[in-house]
Amino acid sequence: MMNFEKQLTVDTINNKTDLLAGGFRELARENNDASVFEELEIQLEQSGFGAADTSDVSAVLHNSSLFCRSENFSKVMELVLYKNPIKIQNETEHANMCIMSSSEGYRTAMTEGFSGKDVNHALKTVISFEGIHLSKHAAIPAESDLWKLKPKTAAVSVAGAGMIQVEDVKMISFRFPIHLYPEKFLTESEKDMLEEKGLGFVVRHYTQKETAH
Distance from chain centroid for Cα 144 = 27
In 3D space, the residue among 69, 65, 76, 72 whose CA is nearest the CA of residue 132 turns out to be 65
- Segment 18-75, tens digit of pLDDT: 989 999 988 877 666 789 999 999 999 999 999 999 999 999 999 999 999 999 999 9
How is the chain split into domains, by residue range?
4-208
pTM of the model: 0.89
- Segment 97-126, tens digit of pLDDT: 999 999 999 999 999 876 778 998 899 999
DSSP class of residue 62 equals T
Report the alpha-carbon distance of residue 172 to residue 72 in Å, rounded.
12
